[in-house]
Structure 1
Amino acid sequence: MLLLEANNIKKQYGDRLVFSIDSLKIYQNDRIGVVGINGCGKTTLLNVLTGNEFPGEGTVRRYGGHAYITQLDDPPDRALDRMMGKKFRVPDSEWETMSGGEKTRLKIARGFSAPCSILFADEPTCNLDLDGIRLLEEQLKKFEGALVIVSHDRSLMDALCAKILEIESGKVTEYAGNYSDYKRQKEAEIERRRFDYEQYVREKHRLTAAIIEIKQKSVAMKKTPSRMGNSEARLHRRKTGQKMAKVDRAAAAIEKRIGQLEKKEKPAKPVEVNMYLQEQGRLYCRSVITGQEVSKSFGNKLLFDKICFEVPAGRKVALVGDNGSGKTTLLKMIAAGEKGITLAQNARIGYFRQDLGILDEEKTILENVIKDSVFTQRDVRLMLAQLLFKDEYVHKKVKVLSGGERVKAALAKIFVSGYNIIVLDEPTNYLDIYSLEALEKVMKEYMGAILFVSHDRKFIDEIADQVIVLQKGKALQYAGNYSDYLQYMESKNQQKPEQERIMQLENRLNEVVGRLCVSKQEDVEILNTEYEIILKELKRLRKSGL
């Protein structure tokens, strides 16, 4: 059953074409993913299809109700609250104190509760914890209507989508299959276009070279030998004229063939984003952030009680936990240097917040980023260009940017401000896949310490070499990435107490070895003593287990 059709759509902002669509039809049970770089118009497309924006040109007809899970943290919709009832009615004051994950869960609950035949979702996994993403995926699989989703979560798109709409340079192209299928088709398409272009250029060069050679022969034919008599010269010119006519006809035929060649455009290079995170003043110490008996509560709600943790120098540490476990609160406490938090001497923390509060919406991208920069305006412009903020685009005000563009502007501001410790709270939210992979690359290459919160399991596994888990008011620090931690927890539930203790000691031994590599001379003796104690205990436990 046809649920929506859009015909001859052309959406523009001033002279800029955002996208055009000749024809788009959405049927019941369609599962459609929308992809493209930040700012290409993905959210605008959803707004046009849902009727939140006028298309400019063309028509959109909907043959049933729809629900829309929006991207940004819009305040509660009172009309929707009245329709949904008390269950979803949230006072403005309470909305302001909710975490990003809690706001997202509420918007998702509203979307699923509204009677609809099409569900539109714009980055619905943002701010959700890993369990929340798994539950959302299960709910979306069970949804009986059509689904149109924008997401940077590659695993989610693979699990849900059977069709992909790509927005590129104002053109909307449809691909069959999930995200991985789309990537394969896209790569094959680019390779085929590159091959066709190279063949076109090669043939054009060959024919052009043939014309040049013919014309050179033609020039040589025109010259009459100086020792010829008049009658011989006239005969020579007659024969030469006949030959030149043939040559001219041959050259004209080749030129016609060149004109008949099907012109092939040079394929654009894949989008590459290079973000150079420059380290400013490396800290030579064992730990750059240390927490000793840190506690926090809000009223009767205890987030964590006397937890201990550390961020070793040069490490990438992921802070994970369920929504509401206190991850963002702990990052705020670290940035503020609250009780129980110790920072290394000369530490300068760059803090990326979920709410993007470091950006002034009334100022331009360039004005925001350059305000506290330790680099020249030229270097700042180069970084912004690498983030696809090129030419006059840097003069756009933040308030008109998409969610992903705002995130990139805030990250750029952090990167150029001369910090030697980076603290990131959900930096992957709203980023397109190109920017997400660029962020992974720069975080891997950065030599300083990074503490970050993310709900993207692949991103955590790519970056983190240690994990701090907040759970039930406690903190567990694990030396390894998130997948290693999950395997450890699974094996822990199946192991005997002796095996669990062996694993704990092995993890601690690895941590001690790592510290020995970066510690000052006065710390080495203490660490060596602990190293010997751990080895003896491991030997005893392993022997008793035989």
Structure 2
Amino acid sequence: MDEKTVELKEVEVNFGTKESLKIETLSAYMNERIAIIGANGSGKSTLLKMIAGEFEGYTGEVETAAEFNYFAQIGEAGGVDEGFDFELLSRLDVPDNEGLSGGEATKLRLAHILSGYRPGLLLDEPTTHLDEAGVSLLIDELEYYYGTLIFVSHDRHFINSLAETIWEVSDGTVREYTGNYDDYEAQKEQERLAREREYDNFISEKKRLENAVQKQIEKAEKMKAVKKNKQDIKPDRLSSSKQKDTVQKQAFKAAKSIESRLGQLEEAAPPRAETHLKFPMPESLEIHNKFPIMAQDLTVVRGGRMLLDRVNFQFPLGKVIAITGRNGAGKSSLLEEIMNRSEGLDISPKVRIETYRQMDYKLFTDEPVIRHLMKQTDFSEPVVRSMLQNLGFSQDEVTKPLHDLSGGEATRVSLALMFVRPSNVLILDEPTNFIDLDTIEALEKFIDAYKGTVIVTSHDKYFIERVADHIYKIEDHKLVSVL
């Protein structure tokens, strides 16, 4: 077996009185490739920082037997120096100037980390802002990395391409799964089915025991009624009466015994009910135009730079349209043109657009989540509660004041707001950035249930494959259909 490079023992992390993370034992070995996944705020980055030696607010032991390079989720790009691998810098296509875009800054920071080899590598959300080409190049680089690779990511394509082990951070603990993300999902499905069987067996056994108790009680009560009706008992029938007394007592005794077994029956939690989302489309928002958004010789220029040169397209009604392309190709600018109904576009007058605006409402209010959403929708309260449940909110949490929301919760409310507001066209610009895997999967369900047209840009290949009906790519100033 390869040598152990990381070991955590009896580790606890607490913020105030709230326990955040508790790990009995966790290890990583040389050449192991581990993806850390979990909800926002669950402790993924904290776990990575502990291994990197960047966080000391814990009890227990964190031992490393190798030196690690650490790529933080947020950091400064810095400048290019002699320590850089300039060939890697060139392949990452980082321009030699200031004012780098988010994706270019991420590439520069990655080049800096990957230029100096160490036998351990820790990466916190390394694909954020990277375009598809950048993600592919990073995967190629890491496939040839020799050492312990541990990374936090919500990019399922990235995880599938590299991970051999999954660390799931959830409910204050870390659980380990073998394989990549697809393998992890298969194992989670098996766990879900096992819980369902356990619950079904519990309900079946509980019902059987309850029926048995009832039968014994009915038997005892029947004996009691028979005895009461016998007012005159002749001497030769005394023995018969005593036998019935004995049967009655045995029935009551059997009932108590079964009740005792019923009380000792190990409780099984009911499986979480799957709620099917439905977004009814009001008649006032129905569109009968087969192509509600079209372009004729649309040209888009930003800062004197040509992004789109006389492009033509027809976006069909009720479909999910994905716009892909490298960083800076003009994806966001195209969405802006559509939202502004710019010249060169033919947009149906009945089109009503809603966009994803992250945390676009004031959090400094005591107004509960459910009440805030109900003020902005025509949907019934059960529909809105169903949406919040799919986003991971419990029935108690939907009454939580807005100003008490965590960052992850606020983001999920922002997604819910987009879907509850009246619309027939949704525009989403990189919606999977900064949201966890559970929320991404909830978003996929929402998009599938939405009755209108969706236009989305994303570098998340896995997400695009799951939601898109039509895929376009901006290439050489043109919008090219690839699906």
Answer yes or no: same fold by TM over 0.5.
Answer: yes
For the pair 1:446 / 2:450, whether they are aligned, the reply is yes
Q: Which residue in the other structure is 1:142 paired with? A: 144
Q: Specify the alignment match of 2:268 in structure 1.
A: 265
Verify the 8 A CA contact 2:84 2:111 in the aligned structure 1: no
1:188 to 185, 190, 193: 190
Asked if 1:388 is matched to 2:392, the reply is yes
Distance 1:114 1:411, change over 3 A: farther
- Residues 211 and 166 from structure 1, CA distance in 2 versus in 1: closer, same or farther, beyond 3 angstroms? same
Q: CA deviation at 1:344?
A: 3.5
- Cα contact 2:154–2:436 (8 A) shared by 1: yes
Out of 412, 415, 438, the residue aligned to residue 411 of structure 1 is 415
Shift of 1:277: 8.1
Kept in 2, the 8 Å contact 1:27–1:146? The answer is yes
Query: Residue 294 of structure 1: CA displacement?
Result: 1.0
Distance in 2 separating the partners of 1:20 and 1:83: 42
Where 1:292 maps in the other structure, the secondary structure is: strand
| One-letter amino acid of the structure 1 residue matched with residue 338 of structure 2 | I
Shift, 1:255, TM fit: 4.4
With over 3 angstroms needed to count, the CA separation of the structure-2 counterparts of 1:458 and 1:174, relative to structure 1, is closer
Q: Name the residue aligned to 1:321.
A: 325
- Distance in 1 between the 2:273 and 2:80 partners? 44
Structure 1 residues 248 and 465: alpha-carbon distance in aligned structure 2, compared to 1, 3 A threshold? closer
Partner residue of 2:301? 296
- The residue that corresponds to 1:9 in the other structure is 11
Residue-by-residue CA offset, 1:489-529 (whole Å, 9 max, x unaligned)? xxxxxxxxxxxxxxxxxxxxxxxxxxxxxxxxxxxxxxxxx
The 1:2/1:237 distance shift into structure 2, 3 A limit, reads same
1:126 to 1:232, Cα distance in 2 relative to 1, 3 A: farther
Equivalent position of 2:92 in the other structure: none
Aligned to 2:167: 165
Q: Which residue of 2 aligns with 1:421?
A: 425
Q: How far 1:115 moved relative to its partner?
A: 4.8
SS at match of 1:167: strand
**Does residue 373 of the first structure (1) align with residue 376 of the second (2)?**
yes
The question of whether the paired residues in 2 share the 8 Å contact of 1:359 and 1:398 is answered with no
Structure 2 Cα separation of the partners of residues 14 and 278 of structure 1: 46
Q: Could you say what secondary structure the match of 2:335 adopts?
A: helix
Asked whether the 8 Å contact 1:314–1:447 carries over to 2, the reply is: yes
Q: Across the two proteins, how many residue pairs are aligned to each other?
A: 464
Equivalent residue, structure 2, for 1:459: 463
Whether contact under 8 Å (1:9, 1:55) holds in the other structure is no
1:271 & 1:166 partners in 2: Cα distance? 22
**Compared CA separation, residues 437 and 363, structure 1 to 2 (3 A):** same
* CA deviation profile, 1:53-100 (whole Å, cap 9, x unmatched): 5555434333443344344xx35176x999978999xxxxx88x5433
- CA distance in 1 between counterparts of 2:370 and 2:229 reads 74
SS at match of 1:455: coil
The verdict on how the C-alpha distance between 1:258 and 1:450 changes in structure 2, with shifts beyond 3 A counting, is closer
CA separation in 2, counterparts of 1:278 and 1:56? Answer: 51
Instruction: Report what 2:407 is aligned to.
Output: 401
CA distance in 1, matches of 2:62, 2:278: 39
Distance verdict in 2 for CA 1:368–1:86, change over 3 Å:
farther
Letter of the 1:303 counterpart = L
> Unaligned 5+ residue runs, structure 1?
89-93, 485-546
Shift of 1:131: 1.8
Quote the residue 2:93 is aligned against: none
- Aligned mates of 1:383, 1:196 — CA distance in 2: 28
More helix by share: 1
Shift of 1:339: 5.2
Which consecutive unaligned segments of at least 5 residues does structure 2 have? 90-96
What amino acid sits opposite 1:100 in the alignment?
G
1:104 aligns with 2:106: yes
User: Which secondary structure does the structure 2 equivalent of 1:23 belong to?
Assistant: strand
Following superposition, the deviation at residue 270 of structure 1 comes to: 7.1
The alpha-carbon deviation at position 260 of structure 1 amounts to 5.5
Q: 1:204 and 1:305, CA in 2 relative to 1: closer, same or farther beyond 3 A?
A: closer
Question: For the Cα contact (< 8 Å) 1:420–1:448, is it kept in 2?
Answer: yes
Q: Say which SS state the counterpart of residue 32 (structure 1) adopts.
A: strand
Question: Relative to structure 1, is the Cα distance of residues 283 and 238 closer, same or farther in structure 2, using a 3 angstrom cutoff?
Answer: closer
Q: Distance in 2 between matches of 1:278 and 1:68?
A: 48
Q: By how many angstroms is 1:173 displaced?
A: 1.8
Q: Report the counterpart of residue 132 of structure 1 in structure 2.
A: 134
Q: Which residue of 350, 354, 359 maps to 2:354? A: 350
Deviation readout 1:18-55 (Å, 9 max, x if unpaired)? 44221111222221222334554434443444455555
- Is residue 190–residue 267 contact of structure 1 (8 Å, CA) maintained in 2? no
How far apart, in 2, do the equivalents of 1:199 and 1:376 lie?
A: 38
User: Cα offset for 1:475?
Assistant: 0.8
CA distance in 1, matches of 2:111, 2:199: 50
- Give how far 1:224 is off: 4.8
Q: CA separation in 1, counterparts of 2:418 and 2:471? A: 23
Structure 1 residues 466 and 243 mapped into 2: Cα distance closer, same or farther (>3 Å)?
Answer: closer
* Cα distance in structure 1, aligned partners of 2:82 and 2:363: 33
Is contact 1:369–1:409 with CA below 8 Å preserved after alignment?
no
What amino acid is aligned across from residue 29 of structure 1 in structure 2?
N
For residue 154 of structure 1, the aligned residue among 146, 153, 156 is 156
